Amino acid sequence: MASGLAFVEYVCDQINAPENISFKKMFGDYAIYFERKVVALVCDNQLFVKQTKAGRELLKTVVEAPPYPGAKPYFLIGDIIEDRALMRNLFHVTQSELPEPKPKKQRKNYNKSAQV
């Protein structure tokens, strides 16, 4: 089941950092970026945050679940999504532990008409 745009926008609003947060639709679900890093996924209208030590310490009690079959477990966020301060803090500490995104490779031009 695909996720709804309204839920993704709600999650982003709860983070309350419009200058640092964005999302991208991927295969009917969404990746949520915080400061250019993928911090969370929205799958089947549920929020899954990447696991980090700081995130675990902040949440204290966590529920782990894969966002889709075959994926590594993430923190499944339930009712705490209502706590805007906690959500913003969770996204901040999570992104601070994640590695910087790798630079994108340039695509090769496979236009056959250009190859004569």
- Domain limits, the chain: 5-99
Task: Give the pLDDT of residue 97.
Answer: 95
Task: Give the pLDDT of residue 1.
Answer: 62
Question: 40, 55 in Cβ contact below 8 A?
Answer: no
Question: 8, 32 in Cβ contact below 8 A?
Answer: yes
Looking at the domain that runs over 5-99, which CATH code has it been given?
3.30.1460
Return the ∠ at Cα 92 (arms to 52 and 89), rounded to 5°: 95
Identify the DSSP state of 112.
G
pLDDT tens for 48-69 read 999 999 999 999 999 999 999 9
Calculate mean pLDDT across residues 70-89.
95
Pairing of β 29-34 and β 21-26 = antiparallel
Cβ–Cβ contacts within 10 Å for residue 49, how many? 22
76: phi then psi, degrees, rounded to nearest 5: -85, 120
Pairing of β 29-34 and β 46-49 = unpaired
Record the pTM.
0.85
